[in-house]
A and B are shown apart, each in its own frame.
Chain A
Amino acid sequence: METLSAVLVEPFVAIAEAPMFFFEVLIGGLLSGVMYALVALGFVLIFKASGVFNFAQGAMVLFAALFFVGFIDLGWPIWLSLIVTILVMILLALAIERVVLRPLVNQDPIILFMATIGITFFLDGFGQTLWGSDVRRLDIGIPEDPLIIAGLYINQFDIYAAVICGLLVLGLALFFQYTPTGRALRAVADDHQAAMSIGIPLNVIWAIVWTVAGIVGLVAGIMWGAKLGVQFNLALIALKALPVLILGGFTSVPGAIVGGLIIGAGEKVAEVFWGEVLGGAIEDWFAYMLAMVFLLFRPQGLFGEKIIERV
């Protein structure tokens, strides 16, 4: 009885007693959800265009961040490091398309999934062989002191992150909607064979998609790196992006954003108000449980395409 009340009643009482604190937690959660969404976005882009479940997105985040911070530590200005890192990501995308994807065309999805795990290992090893495995501080000049808006304490950094993420999504939306390449990308995402039949080169499209995912990964890597320092742990946030993905649906860009927000907010609120009762550190699994329960009711995710099965 006491445990039940501790789980079912007291957290709500705590919320009702201090609504401002609850909103602070909620907003903090939403803003950190934006960061998850950034990683999930890279997954969605690749899954939409090539049907590959790209487990290597987290490794790409780490890889890009390592190169960026490595160039900055060499004394290069930020803009130059950014451009060179983008070039590196383009090279990486070309190499992945040529070396991994092309020979594995038409294989089962699980084989391609395994191949991306292979890429994950390779990138983790390669990045750290080149740049070492120490934690590197990344300072890109975003202030981190809290800001008071309408009586709520909010971390300024998180707001910048949200704005950057919003700009990135806006840019991607414009790119997909209004450029010929974007149109080709959407065509491939819709139907590979139809796209090929009207002369869209799949190989080129895949290289472009991996490049875009790499650049999204770079942005995510810079933001996470500025927050936590560039270190191996960055590769692990990919795992946090997975529940975001299944919540939002593998094929939906808005889904990635909304899923990120739900997971971020749910996780923080659960940890702060329920964590103590359940033994703490429930952030580890809460997102997965939330996603799994959610999937029971909507197997294709929030915005995913309806799964139609034919025999």
Chain B
Amino acid sequence: MIYRETGQFKTSYGADQAIFPIAQDRIGMLIIMALAFVAIPLTASDYWLTTILLPLVIYGLAALGLNILTGYAGQLSLGTGGFMACGAFAAYKLSTAFPELHVLVVFALSGLITAAVGMLFGLPSLRIKGFYLAVATLAAQFFLLWLFNKVPWFTNYSASGVISAPPLAIWGETYVTGFEATPRAKYLFALSIVTVMALAAKNMTRLKIGRAWRAIRDMDIAAEIMGIRPLATKLSAFAVSSFYCGVAGALWAFAYTGAVEALAFDINVSFRILFMIIIGGLGSILGSFLGAAFIVLLPIFLNNALLAMGMAEAVALASHLEFMIMGALIIFFLIVEPHGLARLWQIGKEKLRKWPFPY
């Protein structure tokens, strides 16, 4: 009854191509933005901001990056963690070598460096497809982590290999990274970057380049015959995806953990992000964030549920049970809706349009 496009006429091409063509969607989006930017920072506790919302936002960005590569361009990748580590270490090297650089410049440059690395590891994608490619990207994952672990230059010859991220200010004395930064500042900083990049991703997928990605995904040979250059398209997908992952990795190290270490980006991170996009929905911007929310919140929820049931003593048992329930839930979700939470949302919207009179 409320959610209905009746009476909304599009009188220009601009209106026809809007991201949210329906007024209710625009209002809904504005409300969500207002909640995320104003209400949450004002009300949420530091605990919520640092342990739940910050990783959620950053994971969302990484999932978005992988979704561009896997969901839109169809190139299965298990190297996300490696690319995130690349972004984190690039940001660390840049900010220590050139302390006068602005934080946004540091992040953008580290994203670009990661994009270059991603293109390098994307080269085999021209010949290797499907699961073979997934295994080939594992080479990126293991090689990059090994590189950052073993070559002391990356850690500025620090003895322990664990280094704390230098504090960087967005303006004046308002620090957004390092230990001086308040959780609120870090959250708002991460959220702003993610919002801008999500908007850019949404638009990219609607442009020529996004259509080329989808053509390559659906059938690369047919796309090639239609005049889409596979090398340029696949490499651009790798570059854009790695850019996103690199920025996410830099945010993770600088804003979330405050320490730059290779171990934080191991193979499990790659898998977790792959879960996010599959649970959230392949080829959907919204899905990346829904999936990230699901995967970040689920263990916390399970933990609290187990605590409430009085299983706090057996920590090991609880973590095993958590694994089990997580696995079972993944299977359950795949069976119920293989196209992810984004599709469920789509179905819900269709239902809502006809509610309460479906005929």
Contact = CB atoms under 8 A, between A and B. Distances in A.
A129 B324 CA distance: 9
Interface in A266-311: 278-282, 284-285, 288-289, 291-292, 295-296, 299-301, 307, 309, 311
Interface string B297-332: 000000000000000000011001111111111110
Given A111-B278, A311-B225, A242 B327 contact: no
A49 interface: no
Contacts of A113: 131
Contact of B132 (A99, A133, A279, A299): A299
A90 B64 CA distance: 40
A122 interface: yes
Contacts of A120: 327
B136 A292 contact: yes
B139 A291 contact: yes
Contact of A311 (B127, B139, B219): B219
B146 A121 contact: no
Interface residues on B, range: 35 or more
Given A119-B331, A311-B221, A311-B222, A125 B324 contact: yes
Interface string B136-149: 10110011011001
Given A104-B338, A121-B330, A289 B320 contact: no
B135 A121 contact: no
Interface string A78-115: 00000000000000000000011001100111110111
A297 to B, nearest CB: 9
A125 B327 CA distance: 8
Q: Which residue of B131, B275, B321 has the most chain A CB atoms within 10 A of its CB atom?
A: B131
Contacts of B331: 99-100, 115, 118-119, 122
A105 to B, nearest CB: 11
Given A123-B327, A129-B324, A133-B316, A299 B128 contact: yes
A158 interface: no
Interface stretch (A211-219, A223-231, A243-251): A243-251
A285 B131 contact: no
A239 interface: yes
B28 interface: no
B76 to A, nearest CB: 7
Given A285-B143, A288-B143, A295 B316 contact: no
Contacts of B221: 309, 311
Nearest 5 CB-CB pairings of A with B: A121-B327, A125-B323, A122-B327, A125-B324, A118-B330
16 contacts: A111-B278, A114-B274, A117-B274, A118-B329, A122-B327, A124-B323, A125-B322, A128-B323, A129-B320, A246-B135, A279-B150, A280-B150, A284-B145, A291-B139, A311-B221, A311-B225
Interface of A: 53, 99-100, 103-104, 107-111, 113-115, 117-126, 128-129, 132-133, 239, 242-243, 245-246, 250, 278-282, 284-285, 288-289, 291-292, 295-296, 299-301, 307, 309, 311
Given A114-B275, A115-B335, A133-B320, 10 more contacts: A111-B338, A129-B320, A129-B324, A242-B135, A285-B139, A291-B135, A292-B139, A295-B128, A296-B127, A300-B132
